[in-house]
Amino acid sequence: MYLTKDEERMLSGEEGEGVRKCMEIVAALGEIYGAEKMVPIRSAQVSGVTYKNLGEAGIEFIEELIKNGAKARILGTLNPCEMDLEDWEDIGIDAETAGKQKRIVDIFSRLGIKPVCTCTPYFTINLPKFGEHIAWGESSAVSFANSVLGARTNREGGPSALAAAVVGRTALYGYHLDENRKPTHTVNVNVAIRESSDFGALGYHVGKTVQNGVPYFKGVKAASQDQLKSLGAAMGAWGAVALYHVEGVTPEAKRGITAAGEQLAFGEAELKTAYKELDSASDDPDLVYLGCPHCSIDEVREIAGLVNGKKLKVPLWVIAARPINQQAEKLGYKKTVEAAGGKLLSDICLVVGNIDKLGYKTLAINSAKGAFYLASYAGRGVHFGTTRQCVDAAVNGKWK
Ligand code: F3S
């Protein structure tokens, strides 16, 4: 792989052992995937930030990098962690877990990564522009950045995104290249899909079928950013889709990428089946969990509107990135959610945390991605439905 003078300097250790190690990681990936050169990146999104994920070995690795002069040279943000970094006690997180998690976020901060813990960094300080190269981890964020924003990233792991942040570059392969951004499948959508959970159901069906392909959707009349967020998150979880296009909606489809590849159909029957398969629990929920991926301000507004003046029988957690949460506080949505008995939280993802310790057994959720991880990885009962259905379950204590 061709290296510029600067890159050679980093690899030779002239900028310190920490930078050398990071350049070694990025260069090794480039060699494995046959990259011809590296490309400067605008931002990184670092995943794997819990103690369960990093352990002492991971912590030591980052401490060592810092000691040896490594520092992020571009904007970096963090994935969700296992608690709200401020309101952790309130939601039943023990002091030992909190101490470990705070220590990890602090270490990343010392490395120069901003302690904004969210899977929707694009709603905060980390919003890539069309065509920009970035190095992001977290499948739903990757999918959103590639597909909805038209930025370019592979699905990075925690160490490779961190290394890319330190050297400010990534190897030019995969979704950074035009030839890998063309559709492999065309999905003909023959049913009206309106709710975000409908988009999640569509993503569930398509993700399972196309795996790591690049689907091109036809027949989707309109889609909001939140609905696309739900679609991409589902395809990244039930398959490994990191990029998709929607005719007339997503930026590359508007700029000339056209339908191609194997034809698939999604109609009324597939939509019904997807809801049926995703809604797998028999008990009523003991937690209603909205914000997977983390909510936009519009989603928080919608939820606040639905709970306004009500009293909840089942705990309701609404998760949004901290800057969105602060905006929601100013606009009065937080107060409304809390007056009903719900919580508006930041930083947390129940999937990466230790849900066993919190004791919840059955969750109601509007996210097909959440349904996948909470059922198969966390072994919980999951009800899947629209946002309104989930809020109704919190109000009535029953799933309908
Ligand atoms: Fe985000 Fe966790 Fe869902 S990272 S997309 S809240 S599984």
228-260: buried (b, 16+ CB within 10 Å) or exposed (e) per residue?
Answer: bbbbbbbbbbbbebbbbbbbebbbbbeeebebe
Sorted by sequence, the CB contacts under 8 Å of residue 33 that are 6+ apart come out as 171, 173, 174
Using DSSP's 3-state secondary structure scheme, residue 3 falls into coil
% of the chain beyond a pLDDT of 90 = 97
For the chain, list residues with pLDDT below 70: none
Q: Which residue has the tokens 């810092």?
A: 66
Q: Is the CB of 289 under 6 A from ligand 1?
A: no
400 closest CA partner among 279, 271, 224? 279
Task: Quickly list DSSP for 135-155.
Answer: EE-SHHHHHIIIIIS--B--B
Q: How many angstroms separate the alpha carbon of residue 391 from the centre of ligand 1? A: 19
Query: From the CB of 369, is ligand 1 less than 6 Å away?
Result: yes
Residue 353 has what pLDDT?
85
SS3 134: coil
From the CB of 200, is ligand 1 less than 6 Å away? Answer: no
Say how far apart CA 138 and CA 133 lie, in whole Å: 16
- What are the backbone dihedrals phi and psi of residue 348, each rounded to the nearest 5 degrees, phi first? -90, 150
Coil, strand or helix at 45 = strand
Q: Which atom of ligand 1 is nearest to the CA of 373?
A: 7
Paired residues of 114 in beta bridges: 77
Query: For residue 314, what pLDDT is reported?
Result: 97
Rounded-to-integer distance, Cα 247 and Cα 52, Å: 40
pLDDT in tens, 377-393: 889 999 999 999 999 99
* pLDDT for the residue numbered 221: 87
Whether residue 349 contacts residue 320, with contact meaning beta carbons closer than 8 Å, is answered with no
Is the Cβ atom of 78 under 6 angstroms away from ligand 1?
Answer: no
Helix (H) or strand (E) holding 290: strand 287-295
- Say if CB 106 and CB 54 are below 8 A apart: no
Dist. CA 38 → ligand 1 center (Å): 30
> Ligand 1 in contact with 381 (CB < 6 A)?
no
Dist. CA 9 → ligand 1 center (Å): 38
Strand 287-295 to 135-136 pairing: unpaired
Q: How, if at all, do strands 169-171 and 38-40 pair? A: antiparallel
Residue with CA closest to ligand 1 atom 4: 119
Task: List residues bridging with 46 in a β-sheet.
Answer: 78
Question: How many angstroms separate the alpha carbon of residue 394 from the centre of ligand 1?
Answer: 21
User: Which H or E run contains 44?
Assistant: strand 43-46
What burial letters (b/e) apply to 13-48, b meaning 16+ CB within 10 Å? Answer: eebbebbbbbbebbbebbeeeebeebeebbbbbbbb
Q: What is the DSSP string of 66-93?
A: HHTT----SEEEE--BSS-SSSTGGGT-
Distance of CA 311 to the CA centre of its chain: 30
Residue 96 burial by Cβ neighbours in a 10 Å radius (0-12, 13-18, 19+): exposed
Ligand 1 atom closest to residue 352's alpha carbon, by position in its atom list: 2
Strands of the sheet with 245-246, listed across from one edge? 245-246, 215-218, 185-189, 262-266
pLDDT reported for residue 48:
93
One-letter amino acid at 43 equals S
Q: How many angstroms does the Cα of residue 20 sit away from the middle of ligand 1?
A: 32
Closest CA to 238 of 203, 272, 269, 271: 203
CB 229 within 8 A of CB 142: no
pTM over 0.85? The answer is: yes
Q: Which secondary structure element, helix H or strand E, spans residue 335, and what is its range?
A: helix 333-340
Q: What pLDDT score does 354 carry?
A: 82
Neighbours of 129 (CB within 10 A): 10
Instruction: Tell which atom from ligand 1 comes closest to the C-alpha of 141.
Output: 5
Ligand 1 atom nearest the C-alpha of 233 is 5
Q: How far, in Å, from the CA of 351 to the mean position of ligand 1?
A: 7
Q: How far is the CA of 373 from the centre of ligand 1 (A)?
A: 9
Is 365's C-beta closer than 6 angstroms to any atom of ligand 1? no
Q: How far is the CA of 282 from the centre of ligand 1 (A)?
A: 24
User: Would the CB of 249 count as within 6 Å of ligand 1?
Assistant: no
